[in-house]
Chain A
Amino acid sequence: MTDDMMPPEVLGSAELVGDGTATQFEVTKTKQPGEGKKQIRKEQLRVLYTSPGFIFGVIIVGFWVLAAVLPGLLTTVGEKEFVEVGPRVKPGSDAWLGTDKNGWDVYARIIYGARPILIVAPVATAMAVIVGTMLGLIMGYYRGWVDEVLSRVIEAILSIPIILMAILVVFTFGRSTPVIIGTIAVLFVPAITRTIRSAAISESDLDYVMSAKMRGESGLFIVSREILPNVIGLVVVELTVRLGYAVFTYATLAFLGFVGSNITDADWGIDVSQNYEQIVRDIWWPSIFPAIAIASMVIGVNLIADSIDKALKS
């Protein structure tokens, strides 16, 4: 059992995870005292900051965050302000991205529309990740009947189509923002739970957990202090990846009309649904531009998520 038995592909990644698979590969690891954790972090950050995907993603997401926080900085026109040029004007010098059927400026609508999506998606994701991580750790560590029961519940949730779930929830609890956040969170919990559960299972098989059991530690201690710190990197990756999905899911629900009390409010999904019929009359800009905004947001978040994942593994 020497260290240099690794398939060469994993050399680069031996650094980060140090889990069951990577740990034997002393070779490339930091045997030297000079290269400490800080040094590794620093180098990982450098890889992150210099990756084009990350820079691009940050620019896109940063722009939308700015729009959500201070829309007034990016546009002088209000979301429901009738501009002088009138309705259904093509994109041009009068209105950058044109105006819609109501005579509202599409660009201004998009800037103001960033806010709802940027409230719902991160909050829902955070909730789902917290709940999913807790469940996953418990299931992965205890296994047995706890795992069986929770697994069945999760499969039950997974078997309900998103739309059906949304219809049920909206008709039962209304369409307020907290309800939408809760719905998206519940939808996301199963996938996160599964990811964390499998990580927790492989952690539980490691000898440090057995060692903790042998000195008489409680299950709560082992799960929260021993195992959790070792899966936290995975939690971060889940957080960023799921955020992209949450943006997408929220936009879908908005398009289908399950979101918000007023269809005149600026919201990308709603704007697409209100204007897409006019594409057949060649008035494409009021729906295509919000759709591009949704896509850019999803892409931006995913670019960041991928870059973080890569940097952690570099």
Chain B
Amino acid sequence: MKQAKTKVSSDKLMVTHVSLKKVLFGSRDKMGKINLLVYYFIIGGIGFLFLYPVLYMIINSLMAPEDLVDPAVSWVPTSIYFGNYIKAFKTLGFMESFRNSVIMSIVPATLQTMTAALVGYGFARFEFPLKKFWLVVIIATFIIPAQVTVIPRYIMFSNYNMINTPWPNFLPALFGQGMKSAIFILIFFQFFSSYPKSLDEAAQLDGAGKLRVFTTMALPMAKPAIVVSLLFSFVWYWNETSQSSLFFGSVIKTLPMKLGSFADSYKTIYNPNDANVFSAINESISLSGTFLSILPLLIIYFILQKHFVESVERSGITGE
């Protein structure tokens, strides 16, 4: 590369040699063909590791029972068969558990994001005694594992007759103690610390109160952080099963919970006790169930993907 700068004019052979080298191995700002090939090979290979389970799931869920037992069929099914999805759909009680899942994830995600924004703003904008102490406490709450607090929370909620209602899910989120709330508070803290205070002050001179400044000036600007917080909270709440099944699982069943008891529900619905092997539960049916339970997340992800990645970059998720 250095040669290219110094001896460009001197030797024609040299020039072609250098430019060929440039094309193949690349320059400082552009990757060469060979580099690119190696690049795609590595990244594609690793990417395949991530794609494989999903592909496996989709393909196998479309296999008819005859294909499953046929040793000649391993990857490409002889025909596309949607019967598994119909069975899985019924077994999951899809419409109801989908509704439950949506409510049990959107509401706490929204509450958690609101509180995190408010608290993060408070920490970023105001000086008050013991501020450092509370920040350390926030980080500490991230380290306290859920197993330590889950039993007393359970006892507390049952004292107030809140078990098997949505409240054990909503209340901690509202008060900033939901799933990984600390991370979101820190994201908002980081975000609000990094944008100029003068904007707030200008609004205050116009006579707006502190809370009005927050809702009208700060929040609209925090859009990237809000997107990150909403999406992550939503996904984490959607996928959480261990605590939620303890708190409200016997009454409100979400999709992942239904997936956890998939084999049992299948037996009660289809009662496959007869001699017909094909009516029994098989891999394809449970994979269809798995796919159905993450399908809503996948759809949201593919719609928001571009927006999401940009938001992560702009929200200063990483801090200093």
Determine if chain A interacts with chain B: no
